Structure 1
């Protein structure tokens, strides 16, 4: 899968990883801008987890059904990373502008951006 857009939720193979990096094949949110997504072989993504018990200001909960998600999921913005597009398996859906804005607010908190 080479064509992705900002706000897409995509299944990605994140292994191999080290230490506490989120692992396994799981949904991720594409955060890189569409110019990068069109021309680069990398995409900047935020992993999602189905563990929504503990939520901090650096997390954004995405409801079940949003962007093709089967369960409520948490965007773990402190795990933002660039991945080779060959790790991206298939597109599940796309976040709405409001859902994407919720993720962006959590990311701003993580990176101390104003």
Structure 2
């Protein structure tokens, strides 16, 4: 995690970092106890480095931020939402591969 540029999102910074972002944002909704979420975490970390300065990569712990999870109707995790110009433009439910996420981010750049 030392080289990670992942933004830890919560109630205090979600609007500034995601809704008001001038670049596309990937938001990973996850929890400690979720096995598939643990598989996605290293991918999210790598993406945060790959897209540094071009897109933001953030994560929301659903156990600590139930309000955000409910607002975006996150019913199962991992769920990865993609935002562009403050709007949710894509949603991927379940663990996906790094190329899957990379393709989506590139399509938003």
TM-score bracket relative to the smaller structure: 0.3 to 0.5
Q: Which has the higher strand share?
A: 1
Q: TM-score, normalised by structure 2?
A: 0.33
| Higher CA-based Rg | 1
Q: TM-score, normalised by structure 1?
A: 0.32
